[in-house]
Amino acid sequence: MMTPFLGELIGTCLLVVLGDGIVANVVLNKTKGNNSGWIAITLGWGVAVFVAVYSVAAVSGAHINPAASIGLAAAGKFPWGDVPIYIAGQMLGAMLGAFIVWITYRQHFEQTQDADAKLAVFCTGPAIRNPFNNLVSEIVGTFVLIFGVLSMVAPQSSLGSLDALPAALLVFGIGLSLGGTTGFAINPARDLGPRIMHAILPIPNKRDSDWGYAYIPVIGPIIGGLLAAFVFGLL
């Protein structure tokens, strides 16, 4: 029987398979999509959200993002007691998705010398490294995401009550407009889970996993989600 935990695991896995997959296709050597550019990446992540939400909305509500679970709970639209099991499913799903991307593109990782590009397949990094500004970027991007979600869902419900297309367009728009600074993680699980996999997988000639930056795409989205819930509650 499909449980909300499994729903979040499968949904987040699909999100990362398609999201990290488009990044791999763009940045790794000798792929068909090499150098397709930022538009391809943002569109790919939008499609990833569409598929993930559409696939598991009926099972778990398709939060597929700890910031969404926390923001919905803070807004009184989701039980706080269910947040830990949702986040556990999201983290495991993100890690599994990253593993699948690595298996799929394994030969291309071997053909790529750029260690930063290899890391970028798994997790985000800033265009200009400035912790405060990078944190603000993640807060703003996630605020837009969660405020948009809260504005579109029914009073009692979760991300799953959205049609999948509006959710996908929202993420696509955030990527196009706000993603140029940090790569728009806007999702702690989407960034931290694959970052852990980058650290443990036997990727040839890889760099460190940039743990000094890793807290920003975790804390920033959580703050952004909580701020969105607070502002939404004032309306």
pLDDT in tens, the chain (235 residues): 899 999 999 999 999 999 999 999 999 999 999 999 999 999 999 999 999 999 999 999 999 999 999 999 999 999 999 999 999 999 999 999 999 999 999 999 999 999 999 999 999 999 999 999 999 999 999 999 999 988 887 554 555 555 688 889 999 999 999 999 999 999 999 999 999 999 999 999 999 999 999 999 999 999 999 999 999 999 8
Number of domains present in the structure of the chain: 1
Segments forming the whole domain that contains residue 173: 4-234
CB atoms within 10 A of CB 9: 25
Under 8 Å CB-to-CB from 230, ≥6 apart: which residues?
74
**pTM value?**
0.95
- For residue 60, give the CATH number of its domain: 1.20.1080.10
What angle is formed at CA 108 by the lines to CA 103 and CA 112, rounded to 5 degrees?
A: 130
Residue type, 128: I
